[in-house]
């Protein structure tokens, strides 16, 4: 039997649990050998869901990375731990797949990437939309020039309103709507336009429509951002954290010879219900994981395959850094109301660097 990559997961909240489940049940050339969380609720879940499969469950990341034979880790812990835990794992020769953001600071991310380049183990930041079959097909059509030269990308992500106290705390610690959420759309634009696309300027506006407490920290629950690239192309982003009808994530790509539309009418299946009142009902996705569940499996599989093959990571680190630079600049523009400018190499012009 071929070698199976021995994987651990740190952080067993909503994302970590899904990563653990995918490695355990959906990635045949990987084996989940350990998991880690200090939270009692997470440990209770792990004892029930993981230990029956002989997965070692611990409370300390330091203990987890000492697991004999451990080769790779998925980091889904709190954001402020991502950089430190990534470096700890890389320093021991353990490959890393880290949930975004790797850091909320451009300077710290540059430091982590420089550190990673000195190590034999690899680092990849998780941007799941690259692994969605629909976006993969869109990229393939662009590569075949089916709509000519792409000029404009319009991408939106609308999430269901959550007013719970844990979510309010999550928003306070997230780094802002552009760095936490719209960064997915930014990475997608780089994936579709090309990794070497350089921003020329960005600007943003927003409103705190329901989570009014965000105003005090210069954040928003509805935001619009625009990024102009030096090659003349434009990306337009909209994000809402206040949707009531479900999860709505759609993208349009306009080219010189046509248009590609992805998920303009969000639906989890092909069912339409016509009622006696003459209305046709089409359900939408209830939340983001329902929309991207297969893509998370694709992402884990692609990462494991790349590690085992000793090849390039499917998400380049330079793209992850570029996405953070654009996101941080948009977040700054949201707070200041000013347009942020870049030079032709993609570096900020004038003022302070866009770090959070």
Q: Rounded to whole angstroms, what are the CA distances from 203 to 33, 34, 195, 275, 339?
A: 45, 44, 21, 45, 5
Same domain, 89 and 166: no
Same domain, 71 and 187: no
Same domain, 47 and 176: no
- Report residue 209 as tokens: 């429509």
Same domain, 142 and 229: yes
Q: What is the CATH number of the domain that holds 207?
A: 3.30.360.10
Q: Rounded to whole angstroms, what are the CA distances from 173 to 45, 149, 320, 352, 356?
A: 24, 39, 20, 22, 11
Same domain, 155 and 54: no
Residue-level pLDDT at 276: 84
Burial per residue of 170-204, b for 16 or more beta-carbon CB atoms within 10 angstroms, e otherwise: ebeebbbbbbbbbbbbbbbbbbbbeeebebbbbbb
Which structural domain range is residue 74 located in?
5-126
pLDDT in tens, 74-107: 999 988 999 999 999 999 999 999 999 899 899 9
- Report residue 230 as tokens: 């030096």
Same domain, 106 and 27: yes
Residue-level pLDDT at 104: 86
Query: Number of folded domains in the chain?
Result: 2
Same domain, 119 and 205: no
Ranges of residues in the chain with a pLDDT under 70 are: 1, 270, 351-356
pLDDT in tens, 129-186: 999 999 999 999 999 999 999 999 999 999 999 999 989 999 998 889 999 999 999 9
Nearest to 300 by CA among 22, 24, 5, 2: 22
Question: Helices 82-91 and 106-117 sit at what angle, rounded to 10 degrees?
Answer: 10
Same domain, 160 and 204: yes
Same domain, 122 and 152: no
- 3-class DSSP assignment, residue 244: coil
Residue-level pLDDT at 173: 87
Nearest to 82 by CA among 180, 172, 160: 180
Residue-level pLDDT at 188: 97
Residue-level pLDDT at 351: 62
Same domain, 138 and 283: yes
E strand spans, the chain: 5-10, 30-36, 56-58, 72-75, 95-99, 123-126, 150-160, 199-207, 222-229, 234-243, 248-255, 258-262, 273-274, 280-281, 340-341
Same domain, 231 and 328: yes
Last residue of a domain, one of 75, 107, 126: 126
Tell me if 311 is assigned to some domain: no
Same domain, 94 and 190: no
CB 242 within 8 A of CB 221: yes
């Amino acid at each position: 039997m071929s070698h199976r990559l021995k994987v651990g997961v740190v952080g067993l909240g909503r994302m970590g649990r899904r990563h653990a489940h995918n490695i355990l049940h959906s990635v045949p050339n990987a084996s989940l050998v350990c998991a880690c969380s200090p939270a009692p609720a997470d440990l209770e879940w792990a004892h029930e869901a993981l230990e029956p499969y002989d997965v070692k469950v611990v409370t300390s990341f330091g203990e987890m990375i000492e697991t004999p034979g451990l080769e790779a880790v998925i980091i889904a812990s709190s954001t402020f731990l991502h950089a430190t835990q990534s470096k700890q794992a890389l320093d021991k020769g353990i490959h890393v797949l880290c949930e975004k953001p790797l850091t909320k600071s451009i300077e710290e991310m540059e430091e982590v990437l420089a550190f990673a380049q000195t190590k034999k183990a690899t680092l990849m930041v998780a941007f799941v939309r690259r692994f969605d079959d629909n976006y993969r097909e869109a990229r393939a059509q662009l590569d075949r020039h089916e709509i000519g030269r792409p000029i404009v990308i319009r991408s939106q992500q609308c999430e269901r309103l959550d007013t719970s106290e844990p979510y309010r705390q999550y928003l306070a610690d997230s780094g802002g709507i552009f760095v936490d959420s719209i960064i997915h759309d930014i990475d997608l634009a780089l994936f579709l336009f090309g990794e070497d696309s350089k921003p020329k300027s960005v600007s943003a506006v927003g409103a705190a429509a329901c989570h009014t407490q965000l105003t005090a920290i210069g954040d928003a629950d509805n935001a619009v951002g625009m990024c102009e690239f030096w090659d003349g192309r434009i990306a337009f982003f909209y994000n809402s954290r206040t949707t009531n009808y479900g999860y709505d994530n759609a993208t349009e790509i306009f080219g010189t010879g046509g248009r590609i539309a992805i998920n303009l009418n969000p639906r989890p299946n092909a069912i339409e219900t016509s009622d006696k009142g003459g209305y046709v009902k089409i359900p939408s996705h209830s939340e983001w994981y329902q929309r991207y569940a297969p893509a998370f499996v694709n992402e884990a599989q692609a990462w494991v395959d790349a590690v085992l093959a000793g090849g390039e990571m499917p998400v380049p680190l330079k793209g992850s850094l570029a996405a953070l630079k654009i996101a941080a600049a948009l977040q700054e523009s949201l707070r200041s109301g000013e347009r942020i400018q870049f030079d032709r190499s993609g570096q900020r012009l004038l003022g302070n660097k866009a770090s959070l």
